[in-house]
Amino acid sequence: MAKRLILMGPPGGGKGTQAKRLQERYGIPQLSTGDMLRAAVKAGTPIGKQAKAVMDAGQLVSDDIMIGLIDERLDQADCKAGFILDGFPRTIPQAEALDKLLASKNMKLDSVIEVQVPDAKLVERITGRFTCSTCGEGYHDTFKQPKKAGLCDVCGGTTFSRRADDNAETVAARLAAYHAQTAPLLPYYEGKGLLHVVDGDRDMDVVTADLEAI
């Protein structure tokens, strides 16, 4: 049976961390629209050029661009057995477009999981975040340091990077965008009987166990 999930939650809530674990566990891909956009910015594609300033300001990239990206991505072979959407949809128009896209591809959503973390915790989560440049494994200055300093636990890589938008000023704009534009999706999916809520303000492994149970 295919597994089709949406992981929702505020910036820094742990979506990427958990999506990577579910990807490993169930063999279904993490579809992170933030990662797709950052790759486009790095490659200097037309979408990347359009998105960069918007991302740096902590605002949302246009629905048209995002829907186009996801439409193409869902057609790739690795999505046949399911997928974990991480960071999409982020607006009601995106959610409505996703419903149409999935219907046209004969796919059905199984669940939408909200990882809840209070705003007060998110600034520290985000400003301490860094990533292995080689394999993308996520780390945190306080909550998840590499076992050996300077060396990635997963791939042994020695270069790490921090996101341009992971600074205290941009975080405020991203949180505001989350509450104004993305939070309305929670009642949208609750109304469809798809929503599950998980307390994300706990140890990463405990959160993972709850997600696996769902």
Enumerate binding residues for ligand ADP (CB under 6 A).
9, 11-17, 33-34, 37, 54-55, 58-61, 66, 87-88, 90, 94, 125, 128-129, 138-140, 143-144, 174, 200, 203-204, 207
73 in active site: no
90 in active site: yes
38 in active site: no
162 in active site: no
Hey, what are 130's tokens? 């860094």
118 exposure class (CB count in 10 Å sphere: 0-12, 13-18, 19+): exposed
Per partner kind, with CB cut-offs from 5 to 8 A, the member of ligand ADP, Zn ion, none near residue 116 is none
Q: In what order do the strands lie in the sheet with 111-116?
A: 30-32, 82-86, 3-8, 111-116, 195-199
163 in active site: yes
Minimum distance from residue 30 beta carbon to Zn ion (Å): 15
Q: How far is CA 65 from the centre of its chain?
A: 17
Give the separation between CA 44 and CA 37, rounded to whole angstroms: 10
Minimum distance from residue 131 beta carbon to Zn ion (Å): 8
Least Cα distance to 128 among 172, 76, 72, 166 occurs for: 166
Chain residue at closest Cβ approach to ligand ADP? 34
Per partner kind, with CB cut-offs from 5 to 8 A, the member of Zn ion, ligand ADP, none near residue 138 is ligand ADP
Contact between 152 and Zn ion (CB under 5 A)?
Answer: yes
Minimum distance from residue 9 beta carbon to ligand ADP (Å): 6
Minimum distance from residue 156 beta carbon to ligand ADP (Å): 19
Give the separation between CA 131 and CA 104, rounded to whole angstroms: 36
Give the separation between CA 16 and CA 86, rounded to whole angstroms: 7
For 122, half-sphere exposure in the C-beta direction (CA atoms, 13 angstrom radius) is: 24
Among 93, 128, 138, 157, binds Zn ion (CB under 5 A): 157
- Region of 2-10, 74-82, 129-137, 173-181 interacting with Zn ion (CB under 5 A): 129-137
Q: Which amino acid is at 170?
A: T
Q: Name the residues that contact Zn ion, by CB under 5 A.
A: 132, 134-135, 137, 152, 154-155, 157
User: Catalytic positions, please?
Assistant: 15, 90, 129, 163, 174
